Structures are given as C-alpha cells and as structure tokens.
Homo-oligomer: A and B are copies of this chain.
C-alpha cells in the first residue's frame, strides 16, 4: 500500500550487490558531469554557482524516493535555467538580493503546481504543448542560451534576453572584448567539441575497451574544468581580464523557507506555471524515451509529484529550479543506472564535493562554464524539423514557426504562449469548417465512400452525407447550410441519411441545429435518418427529444439504411462485381 506512494520501498527490498555496483558507477560518472554543469546552469540562471550544486542534492534524493524512472537524472537543466533567469529578471536585477529569492520562489511555486497537478491527475494538461511547439521552443531557447553566453565567451558586456536586445548590445560592446578570455573560451569549446568523438577514440587507441573509453570520454568536462582552472591560476589570468567563479561557500546548504513576499509571489505565479509545465514535459519525454527502450511504463502523475517534491527541495535549500535533463539522463542510462538509488548516490557525491572541493574552484573561469553551456545546448538545436513539419501540415508548421519567432524576438514565455495559442486556434478553425462527403455504395461491398473520390452507386431519392467532424458549436450551422443546398439542388429527394461514423460528440448547439434540420426537411416532405451513430453519442441523443421527433430512423449501418430506403439499387450494387476501387491517389 505504502509502496504505491513510495516506490523506492518496492525496489529497495530486493536491492542487490550487482545493482548497487552499477548504480554507483553511474552516479560517479553523472557527478563528474554534474559539478561543472550545475555551476554552469546556475550561471545561466543568473545565480551563484553553489545554487547549481545545491540543486543536485536534496532534489535528487526526493526524486529517488518517489519518482518511477530509474535512469532519469534530475537537477539543473539549461532551458529551465534560462526561463528562471527571464522570470526572476522581471522582478529584480541579476546579482541583486531579490534575484535569488525570486528563483527560490519559482522553484517552490512550480513545485507546488507540479504536486497539485499530479495529485489531481492533471498531467494531461501537458499534452497541450504539441510536439512542434516544444521542438520549436527548445531550439529557440537553445539559441537564446547560446546568445546569453556571449558575454562570458567574449569577456565583453553583451546583455539582453532576446535577439533584438542581444544583437545591438553585441555590436556596441564587441570592441571591449578580452582577447585572453576569447582565446581561453575558444580553446575549451574546441576541446569539448572534439572530445565527444575524439577522446574515446584516443582512449581506445591506448588499449582501453570501448565501453570504458566511452565512460572516460564523459570526463571531458572535468578535464576542461581542471585544466582551465590550473591555467588561470598558474598564469594569473584573473588579473588579465578573465572572469573567475571566485568564492563558493563550503559545506551543506541550510534547510529553510525563503523570505515570504506576497507581491513577489503574485508576480511569479504565471512564469512558475510555465516553468512547471516545460520542466515536466521535458523531463517526461526523456523518461518515456528511456522507459520505452526497456519496455517499462511510467505513471505521468507520479512523475509530476516526484518532480514537484524535487523542486520544493530545491526551494528550501538555496538552490534553483530543477527537472530531468537530457544529457545526464542518457549518460546515467548508458552507465548502467538500474534504480533511482543512482540519483541518491549522485546527491551524496555532490554533497561530498561541496564540503571538500569548493575552494579548488576559486580560479575556475566563467568562460569554461559558458563553453560547457554552449556545448550542452548544441544538442538541443534542431532546424530540420521545421521544414519537415511545414511540409506535412501547414498548421503545425505555423505553430512551430510562431513559437520560434516569438521566443527569439519577444521572449520565452510569450513564445510558448504564442505556440500553444496558435495551435489551439488553428485546430478550432479547422473543426469549424468540417469536411463533408456525399457518399455512395462501393460496388460489390457493403461499404460507402465519397462520391467524388470513388466509383460508387447512389439512388436519386436518397442523399447520404458523412460529416467528418464532431458536431459542436463552431460548426453547428455548416450541416444545416449544406442540407439546405441539397434540398434546393435535388428535386427527387425523399430521404436524407446522415452517416455519423465521424461524429464523436453532438453538443447542445448542434442538437438544436439537427432539430431545425429535421423540421425543415419534414416541411419539404423529406425524411431525416441517422446511420452508424456511435454508442456514446446515442446515449447522449437519448437524453434529448431529437430521437422521438426524428421523421426517419436510426440505422445500425449505412448499408442497413440503404437496404431499407433504396432496396433495389442496393441489392443490385452488392451483387455487382467488385470494382477495383483504388485508395485515393495511390
């Protein structure tokens, strides 16, 4: 019973030596990535480096207790860090005391929202972010993240949250760049880009087995951090314009609620909601991809609760908002993490690092962290999906383009809202003008198809029409108008059959419209029939007066209807040799 809410109880019981070993190896590899990444994403969020490290401690332990994904690596991630910087930036300047407070409240608020969504099973809300919108948003956010790091890469005062802010700032300040910083950051960037494939290759050449070489390849971040720190320290580059991380407080963070400020909280509700949704969607899509590989399944609402607790943990330990991150999760999975205990071990290792290693990071250059961010973000950029999506569906392509454009030019929250809004409006627009097909019988079968696309047989006294949409308020009148036209065009008309295969719902507006159609057809001496009404729709219609008032019948199938209304034509047609009806345009 308790295990339902605390899944770790079920796996902890049967936890074995072998699992412990593989979890520990994964934890060590992830920790080596997480120390520099955590500090880098804290910098991206405009927070002191320890906020990133703290974000990799209590949150991971809480996720391990409740979460259901064994491989998901929770902690600071780039897109959420960017959104945090943007949201906190609306209430305070980076570096001001209110800024970190705002970030903590964003973590707490989004944590509470995730918890509430999970408890009330509202995880489905995340479905309203369509794939094209998410994909467009992540790519645009990746570009903005890269742009935000120009400051650290160049050592020049380039600022701004959107391209129209960053570009003029870049032009104005490019001359004040620090050549030493640029040299350092390009070196680190080059090394990191090379190391992805080059480092394992070198390792294999030295005689290591491929899996081990790959694992060592993951230490590239550590190598970059250690080497660049030593260089700055050795050559005193911090005296020559190279920005360094400086003092990081030693020891574990205290657990305490941040200062309560109702005005601040009110301003952060909307951004926190968006961060909660984006964080959840990002994390869930990673967790599901990994679960699918092992044919496991995840409970979305459980995941929401676990991520919510993780963010509450971040909020009370001076950390930053967290979620599941792509790169570390893949590393965690590849390194063999077999239970969520791997995450808890990572947290312990990070804790040890915070206690023991922070003084060694004094000379770590910001340029190295910026290079780490840029390398991480490159994998987020995806420019090939836009043209492919546009070719498949104009509506999806437009939503994706709008998301990218608005995110880059106006801002991340606006971009997300534009994408979701446009997707919904375009969907509603489409359903408001439903496709309707006049149908006839395919010779040799009991099957009915569009007379414009197939060679089918009809009877002049029966008008059979299929509406390819649920009947609801935006399209309620469309069928009325179409049938008025039919009544006008077809003098011999005696029966109208509405095939309801595609009608999944009939709302009150459409019901009124059907009643009007029934009356109007009756006045013209034409009977109105329904065919293939689905169970749930029939249940609903039975609560109305339409079925009683209907001048015609409700037929199980369109074939039944035609057998009754035009028996001769129908019998002849089914006995006819089957015409080779091709699928449209194939």
Q: Which residues of A contact B (CB under 8 A)?
A: 124, 127-133, 292, 297, 389, 391-393, 395-397, 423-424, 427-435, 437, 442, 445-447, 449-450, 453, 468-470, 472-477, 484, 501-505, 507-509, 511-512, 516, 520, 532-536, 538-540, 542-544, 554, 556-557, 559-560, 581, 583-586
Indicate which residue in B133, B429, B583 contacts A556 across the interface (CB closer than 8 Å).
B583
For the complex, give the distance between the alpha carbons of A543 and B391 in Å. 7
- The verdict on A559 contacting B447 (CB below 8 Å), with A535-B584, A538-B584 known, is yes
Question: How distant is A453 from chain B, measured CB to nearest CB, in Å?
Answer: 5
B473–A131 CB distance below 8 A = yes
B432–A586 CB distance below 8 A = no
B536–A393 CB distance below 8 A = no
In the A-B complex, the 7 residue pairs with the closest CB atoms = A130-B473, A396-B508, A446-B446, A501-B501, A131-B509, A447-B557, A468-B504
For the complex, give the distance between the alpha carbons of A369 and B522 in Å. 43
- Residues on B with beta carbons closer than 8 Å to the beta carbon of A584: 535, 538-539
Indicate which residue in B503, B540, B559 contacts A392 across the interface (CB closer than 8 Å).
B540
- Residues on B with beta carbons closer than 8 Å to the beta carbon of A484: 297
A127–B504 CB distance below 8 A = no
B130–A509 CB distance below 8 A = yes
- Residues on B with beta carbons closer than 8 Å to the beta carbon of A297: 484
- Residues on B with beta carbons closer than 8 Å to the beta carbon of A534: 435, 437, 450, 468, 502
Question: How distant is A176 from chain B, measured CB to nearest CB, in Å?
Answer: 41
A583–B508 CB distance below 8 A = no
B392–A543 CB distance below 8 A = yes
Closest to A574 in B: B446
For the complex, give the distance between the alpha carbons of A502 and B533 in Å. 11
A512–B542 CB distance below 8 A = no
For the complex, give the distance between the alpha carbons of A539 and B435 in Å. 13
Closest to A499 in B: B501
- Residues on B with beta carbons closer than 8 Å to the beta carbon of A468: 504, 534, 536
- Residues on B with beta carbons closer than 8 Å to the beta carbon of A434: 504
- The verdict on A585 contacting B393 (CB below 8 Å), with A127-B473, A424-B428 known, is no
Closest to A474 in B: B127
Indicate which residue in B431, B449, B503, B507 contacts A130 across the interface (CB closer than 8 Å).
B507
B559–A581 CB distance below 8 A = no
- Residues on B with beta carbons closer than 8 Å to the beta carbon of A472: 130, 427
- Residues on B with beta carbons closer than 8 Å to the beta carbon of A516: 292
- Residues on B with beta carbons closer than 8 Å to the beta carbon of A393: 507-508, 540
B559–A445 CB distance below 8 A = yes
Question: How distant is A408 from chain B, measured CB to nearest CB, in Å?
Answer: 21
Closest to A475 in B: B127
For the complex, give the distance between the alpha carbons of A127 and B432 in Å. 8
Question: How distant is A227 from chain B, measured CB to nearest CB, in Å?
Answer: 41
For the complex, give the distance between the alpha carbons of A447 and B531 in Å. 12
Can you list 25 A-B pairs, Cβ within 8 angstroms, ordered by A?
A127-B474, A127-B475, A127-B476, A128-B473, A131-B509, A132-B509, A392-B540, A396-B507, A423-B473, A424-B424, A427-B507, A431-B470, A431-B504, A435-B536, A437-B534, A442-B557, A446-B559, A447-B556, A447-B557, A453-B535, A533-B583, A538-B585, A539-B585, A542-B586, A554-B586
A445–B446 CB distance below 8 A = yes
B450–A447 CB distance below 8 A = no
Closest to A520 in B: B292
- Residues on B with beta carbons closer than 8 Å to the beta carbon of A504: 431, 434-435, 468-469, 502
- Residues on B with beta carbons closer than 8 Å to the beta carbon of A509: 130-132, 396
Closest to A544 in B: B392
For the complex, give the distance between the alpha carbons of A206 and B502 in Å. 61
A542–B391 CB distance below 8 A = no
For the complex, give the distance between the alpha carbons of A585 and B538 in Å. 9
For the complex, give the distance between the alpha carbons of A397 and B297 in Å. 37
- Residues on B with beta carbons closer than 8 Å to the beta carbon of A395: 507
For the complex, give the distance between the alpha carbons of A432 and B554 in Å. 28
- Residues on B with beta carbons closer than 8 Å to the beta carbon of A520: 292
For the complex, give the distance between the alpha carbons of A474 and B126 in Å. 8
A389–B583 CB distance below 8 A = no
For the complex, give the distance between the alpha carbons of A442 and B540 in Å. 23
Indicate which residue in B130, B437, B508, B544 contacts A131 across the interface (CB closer than 8 Å).
B508
For the complex, give the distance between the alpha carbons of A127 and B409 in Å. 33
- Residues on B with beta carbons closer than 8 Å to the beta carbon of A508: 130-132, 389, 392-393, 396-397
- Residues on B with beta carbons closer than 8 Å to the beta carbon of A428: 128, 424
Closest to A400 in B: B508
Question: How distant is A241 from chain B, measured CB to nearest CB, in Å?
Answer: 48
